[in-house]
Each structure stands twice: as structure tokens, then as C-alpha cells.
Amino acid sequence: MTPKAGIQRVILLGRPNVGKSTLFNRLVGRGVAMTDAAPHTTRDVLAGICRYGDTRFELVDAAGFLTSPEDSLYQSLRQGLDAAVASADVVVLLFDAREGLLPLDRELADYARRLDKPVIPVVNKIDSPSLESAVADFFELGFDREPLAISAANGYRCAELLAAIGAELGPPVEAEEEAEEKLCVAIVGRPNVGKSSLLNCLVGAERVVVHEVPGTTRDAVDVEISHAGRPLLFVDTAGIRRRTRAKGRLEQWSLGKSFAAIRRAAVVFLVLDGAEGPTAQDAKIAAYADDHGRGLIIFTNKTDLLAGEPEKRREELLARIRAELSFASYAPVLSGSALRGLDTGSLYEALFETERNWSGRVGTGELNRFLREAMARRKFRADGKEIRLLYAAQVQAEPPTFQLFLNVTRRPPPAFAQFLENRLREGFPLVGTPVRLSFRLRRPRGR
């Protein structure tokens, strides 16, 4: 993780379930991180901007500290944690007053001392005066500063913690003004189709945990990078399964965050399992992105696993996607292996083209000439007479929305709207973006 220019980074470090995500949400001021009693609720690195007076810094919530991971998933979590800690300017070391000083806390303290970074020891869950005495146990860890007693849940002494962080960071660093707004891209799909692998492929680094266990990603993870001079914000999301199969509060939270990521994005990468092919759930996810007017790119992952004749299988796969996601025929379909980096070179080209088309505009004069010529080649009737175009204009971008004034008093048949959309896509750069058509009809006489 490379810190953003002009802003310093503070990381929350502690063993599992000491309240890091609760403190993160408290300091950032919104419910970004999931909180739950289950250990390892946080599995990826979450970041948010924290402001306190003149102090502004990036706060990072990462997976719980482990010294002896018992399986490969925890090993992946530890690697991500080490990378996040290496990029931090200040470490907030969090302990649990209710459980007291545990052997893992001592190992964590030794780990923190070797970092050669400012460390602020904090004892969390001081939710009543009777727990104040529990702080004394943590003095034996031997840090240069006294452990600070707080309650992330109710905000007790969190302002003092922010003041301590500000003192370690020093005078505010002027943030570099961004010349261009970040392009937000959501990476979505069913569980275990390779969304995190695709993000790591796009970013060019092991930024999020990749593991064969479905549901490894639980939060919507933001990753900011710059590509070809363009600032980008990628959002890796939890796998979207049918709500009837989503069990428990954590999975329901994950689903909500994934759908929210689609709504905040300009462009959506829908990742399919190429070896399995499109499913009804893939179609529902694509329909959600289409309904919310987002640019859409379909990436069929794991096509390196296709048996038999790969090219023939890819053609068959493309035909299935076009048939089952026919409402999103405008979406470019790319295929490859995100994990191995095969056939992924055109991802950015498709992304930037889709964003240009999604946010682009068509001149009014050009639009009217084009549509009148198209309607002259094929006649439609409504209200007992031939439909004529009186005037057309693009009234909105993101996505392109066109308003057409017609000479009829009743809504044209669906075939008319489909005909116009097809002609617009032939005449203008609209690959990757939905198109909206709005008809303004003539008032009936006597009204």
C-alpha cells in the first residue's frame, strides 16, 4: 500500500476482536467497517479519512494480528497486515481491558517495538469506571508513554486519542490538489469468481486477500491508484449471492455494501466464472447495474481452465452471455485469467472507453439530423398516424439520456424505442453504457 501524496497514515493494530473496527468507525465518523463479535470480521485493509481540528490523516483498519496462523487464509491475512503496517506513519496499538493482558498482546507489543515507528498504546472497552484499574496491567509492556484508556463504543476519551495522534504526526501536511476527479470502479460478482484477483491484477500488487475459501472478502475495499495519469478508485466487493442464501448479519452487511458500491461507481466490472458460465444471479447483478445507469464491463475469468478446444469454448461462452444477459448487450465482454494475468491487457482500454461513453454528450444538431434520417428509413405508427420527430436533445449524461418530442398523443410501441436505441448505438460511441430514452408526447386536443 502506497500512501496517498500529501496525507499521512495511521494504522490500528491489535489482536482479533479488540474493537479495531468499532474504533475505526468512531474516528472516521461513519459505519465503514463491519463490527461483530466473531474474530477476523475484518479481512482486508480498510481506509478512511479522519479529521480532527487542523489534523487530517488516513486511518487504516486491518485484520487482527496473529503470530502463528493456523491455515493459509490467515497467512494471507498476515501478509496484508504486514504490508499495511510498513506504510504507516503512526501505529495505534489496541488492547482489550475486559480480557486483560494476554500472551498474544505481549507478542504484539514486541512486534510493534521492532517497527521503528511512533506507537500509541490504547486500552479499549473501558465502558465503566470499574474497568479503569484494568489499564494498570498494560504498563508492564514497557512503552515510553502511558497506555490511554478509551471506549470506542461510547467515545470515551477518543478525543484525547486523536490529540495524541495529531501530536505524533506533527504539523498538518498540505494535501496535493487533485486536478481530476477519481473514476470509481466497482468489481462485483458471485462468491469465488475471482474479483479480488482481478483487482490485484489491475493494481499490479497483492492489495487484497485472495483465497479459495468463498466469502474471503467481506467489506467493500477501496483501493486508490493512478493509471496513465488518471486517478482511479477501485472497490472490491463481497460476493453477491441470493438474499435467501445470505445467512447472518455479516453476510447481509456484505451484500448491502456490495450493492452500495455499484450505486457509487461510474463503471462496474461484472466478473463471471468462465468455467461455469453465466448464471441467473449474474443476470440479476448486471440488471442492478443497468437499472442504476452504470457503465458495465463483463469479465469472464478463469477461461484458462476451459477444457477441450479453448477458442471454441470461448465462442460458446460468449454466445451464452449474450443470450442470458441480452438486456446488457451493450457491455463489452472480455475474458482471461486474472490470477495468471492472461489476456487482461485490454481491461484498462475497455474501462476508459466505457467511462468516456457513459459521461459523453451528443450535439443537438447532429442528434436531430441523425434520428430524422434513421426514422425516414423505417416507419412506425402510433395514435393512428405515422410517428414523426419534432425535436430531440440529450438532456443528461451518466448515463446518456435523450428526450424526444413526438407528434403523437400516445406512447410509441416498444419496438420504436428499441429501434432508436439500436440506431443511436450504431451512430455514436455508446459501448459499455446504458441509454435512456424519454418521450414527450403532443397533448390531445381539448386538453
| Lookup: cell for 412 | 410509441
Could you tell me which of 165, 144, 131, 194 has the C-alpha nearest to residue 58? 165
Which of 51-55, 159-163, 294-298 comes out lowest in average pLDDT? 51-55
Compute, in degrees rounded to 10, the torsion defined by CA atoms 409, 411, 417, 420: 0
In this prediction, residue 252 has a pLDDT band, given cuts at 50, 70 and 90, of: low
In this prediction, residue 39 has a pLDDT band, given cuts at 50, 70 and 90, of: very low
> Residue 232 is which amino acid?
L
Residue 318, pLDDT score: 92
Q: Who has greater pLDDT, 53 or 299? A: 299
Residue 30, pLDDT score: 54
Residue 352, pLDDT score: 97
Distance CA 187, CA 208 (A): 12
Residue 206, pLDDT score: 57
Residue 413, pLDDT score: 92
Cβ atoms of residues 393 and 364 within 8 Å? yes
Question: Three-state DSSP class for 376?
Answer: helix
Residue 42, pLDDT score: 41
Mean pLDDT of 137-144: 91
Distance CA 367, CA 424 (A): 9
Cβ atoms of residues 440 and 403 within 8 Å? yes
Residue 50, pLDDT score: 86
Contacts of residue 24, Cβ cutoff 8 Å, sequence gap at least 6: 12, 32, 33, 46, 48, 59, 61
In this structure, how many other beta carbons lie within 10 angstroms of the beta carbon of residue 209? 26
309 pLDDT higher than 90: no
In this prediction, residue 116 has a pLDDT band, given cuts at 50, 70 and 90, of: confident
| Lookup: cell for 339 | 490470477
Residue 35, pLDDT score: 42
Tens-digit pLDDT profile for residues 189-234: 998 898 888 988 888 865 544 334 344 444 567 788 888 889 998 9
Domains of the chain: 8-169 (3.40.50.300), 183-359 (3.40.50.300), 364-440 (3.30.300.20)
Tens-digit pLDDT profile for residues 82-112: 777 887 899 999 999 999 999 999 999 998 9
Tens-digit pLDDT profile for residues 178-190: 446 889 999 999 9
Distance CA 150, CA 127 (A): 8
Tens-digit pLDDT profile for residues 387-434: 999 999 999 999 999 999 999 999 999 999 999 999 999 999 999 999
Query: Residue 270: which region, alpha, beta or left (left: phi > 0; alpha: psi -120 to 50)?
Result: beta
pTM over the 0.75 mark: no
Percent of the chain with pLDDT over 70: 81
| Lookup: cell for 343 | 489476456
Which of 40-44, 143-147, 239-243, 367-371 comes out lowest in average pLDDT? 40-44
Which contacts qualify for 151-155: CB closer than 8 Å, 24 or more apart? 151/124, 151/125, 151/126, 151/127, 152/19, 152/22, 152/23, 152/26, 152/124, 152/125, 153/19, 153/22, 153/26, 153/125, 153/127, 154/127, 155/26
Could you tell me which of 399, 354, 9 has the C-alpha nearest to residue 183? 354
Residue 72, pLDDT score: 45
SS3 letters across 339-371: CCCECCCCHHHHHHHHHHHHHCCCCHHHHHHHH
Query: Residue 446: which region, alpha, beta or left (left: phi > 0; alpha: psi -120 to 50)?
Result: left
| Lookup: cell for 401 | 439520456
| Lookup: cell for 175 | 494535501
**Helix, strand, coil percentages in the chain from 3-state DSSP, rounded to 5:** 35, 20, 40
Mean pLDDT of 264-282: 93
Mean pLDDT of 46-73: 71
Residue 379, pLDDT score: 93
77 pLDDT higher than 70: no
